[in-house]
Amino acid sequence: MVLAASLWASLWASLWASLWALLEAAAVLALLGAAAAVVLLYCDPAVRRNLAVASQFPQPRGVPVIGHLLLLLKSREDVFGMLRRFRRTLGSRFVITMLGRTVFAVSDPQAVEVSRHMSKGVVYELLKPWLGLGLLTSGGGLWRSRRKLLTPAFHFRILDQFSQHLEQQARGLADELDAARRAAADRGHVVDVVPVISGTTLRAIRVTAMGAVDFETDSSSDLASEKSYFDAIHRVGTTTVARLVRPWLWPAPVFKLTGLYRSLREDLRTLHAFTAKVRPTARHETVEKSIRTAGDDGGGAGVGRKAGRLRPFLDVLLHAQRDGADLTDKNIREEVDTFMFEGHDTTSMALCWALELLGRHPAAQDRLAGELRGAAADWEAVSRLPYLDRVVKECLRLRPSVPVISRTLDSDAVLDNKQVLPARAVVTISIVRVSAGKRFALMEVKLLLAAVVRAFRVRSAMADGEDMFIADLVLRPRAGVLLELTPR
């Protein structure tokens, strides 16, 4: 018995020692591998050139070789505030480096010049497990043909057909906010409006572009799956930002060894399961029948108009597939994933931030409420309100839902005829860009904003400051958008 115990103990000790030896060897190998990768990277003439050019730009204080990596590895709340501080202290052009990689941040009108030389940046690669080769993540010829195919799906004639759905969502939003306000009586009627508004904008894209006409807005299972969809999008944002600032996690085989990957895989299951429900019920025959194009009305050419018809988003894809376009079921799912995300999260944030800004500027809010008092609530009337138009555009300028986009330069770009941005550099650009869903977005944000301001006096209950936002795929608040709502 004693012998067996001591044998077991010595076996255990030697197993343990071998395990440690293995772990040590793995750690040493990983370090050597990382060092070799960095040395190899610095041997690349393009990398050396980029670093040389970068040294002529303003930069925050960094560390040799690793550059600004330690600053970027802070929490994503800090990262966003920090980038805004750099913009303020270093100017509209500055550089960040990490392990030999250079990121040029440009936020002045010359950024337009950069757009002639670019393909999509690394962040879009990181989004591909979710969005595949949808419009946001694809590039080159594929992007051009899809853009041509889908642009007519947001033609103003299509949007006219959607207006009554959006007007209905606007009425529903005012009611839901009223319920949330009552439920927050013990908190001074201060409500985090993000979940309610995101629910509305998600339903808006589902009942319009996705054609989910038979979709139950108040069923509890729908609300639960909406919530898990939002939560998964937020976590994917966190994972993507975390991976973006860790260049060693960019290669998929390395990333797949991490816990971040396992959490991403779980979230992607949720996101794809949510959008998979879209396809079977989606039919826009009634909308389609009522829209006949007469001659050229500026909607752009494409399969969406081939039969003299304009079709809404999902039908464009389904018909194109039926008519023999090179479009698999997977391709369609990727576009649905892209438009479902882009089509609700951007407008939700635009509306939340517009309300927050109006909640800080009572004079502008009163003026808007005055304009709304004299107008009907339908799109016909709301689309003609000049002050509402100015408010929405100014709010989008001050708090753009997509504050930064990222591209990789295909060739050198020259700014102001003198400053060169070198090929292969990653450039982040902060200029307001025209989106594929611009018309739809403006219509929706105006209708919803008008309904909320008509129903409530809004006061911001948030402290102003740089730590209000977090780094994400859209301009997301750190901890909700808190507004005090008082019925008018």
Contact residues for ligand HEM (CB under 6 A)?
135-136, 147, 209, 338-339, 342-343, 346-347, 350, 396, 400-402, 405, 433, 435-437, 440-441, 445
Min separation Cβ 176 and ligand HEM, Å:
20
Name residue, tokens 């550099």: 425
- Tokens representing 55 are 């040294």
Interatomic CA distance for residues 300 and 291, integer angstroms: 15
Min separation Cβ 404 and ligand HEM, Å:
8
Min separation Cβ 374 and ligand HEM, Å:
26
Interatomic CA distance for residues 379 and 445, integer angstroms: 11
Residue sitting closest to ligand HEM (CB): 437
N-term to C-term CA, the chain:
85
Interatomic CA distance for residues 135 and 480, integer angstroms: 29
Under a CB-based contact definition with an 8 Å cutoff, are residues 359 and 486 in contact? no
150 or 242, CB closer to ligand HEM?
A: 150
Min separation Cβ 28 and ligand HEM, Å:
40
Min separation Cβ 342 and ligand HEM, Å:
4
83 or 441, CB closer to ligand HEM?
A: 441
425 or 461, CB closer to ligand HEM?
A: 425
Angle, nearest 10°, between helix axes 386-398 and 329-358? 100
Interatomic CA distance for residues 174 and 372, integer angstroms: 15
- Tokens representing 198 are 């995101």
350 or 471, CB closer to ligand HEM?
A: 350
Min separation Cβ 32 and ligand HEM, Å:
37
What secondary structure does DSSP assign to 329-359, as a single string?
HHHHHHHHHHHHHHHHHHHHHHHHHHHHHHT
- Strands 93-98 and 101-106, how do they pair? antiparallel
Min separation Cβ 310 and ligand HEM, Å:
15
Interatomic CA distance for residues 89 and 31, integer angstroms: 36
The single-letter code of the amino acid at 73 is: L
Interatomic CA distance for residues 474 and 461, integer angstroms: 21
HEC sequence for 462-474: CCCCHHHEECCCC
Whole-angstrom Cα Rg for the chain: 26
Min separation Cβ 259 and ligand HEM, Å:
27
314 or 350, CB closer to ligand HEM?
A: 350
Min separation Cβ 462 and ligand HEM, Å:
20
Question: Could you tell me if residue 311 is left (phi over 0), alpha (psi between -120 and 50 degrees) or otherwise beta?
Answer: beta
Cβ partners under 8 Å of residue 351, min gap 6: 197, 201, 445, 448, 449, 452
472 or 484, CB closer to ligand HEM?
A: 472
Min separation Cβ 266 and ligand HEM, Å:
25
148 or 457, CB closer to ligand HEM?
A: 148
Q: Which one, of 460, 392, 448, lies nearest residue 177 by Cα?
A: 448
239 or 401, CB closer to ligand HEM?
A: 401
Min separation Cβ 68 and ligand HEM, Å:
22
136 or 382, CB closer to ligand HEM?
A: 136
Interatomic CA distance for residues 479 and 220, integer angstroms: 25
Interatomic CA distance for residues 102 and 221, integer angstroms: 46
Q: Beta-strand (E) ranges in 56-120?
A: 93-98, 101-106, 118-120
Interatomic CA distance for residues 388 and 351, integer angstroms: 12
239 or 347, CB closer to ligand HEM?
A: 347
Interatomic CA distance for residues 374 and 368, integer angstroms: 10
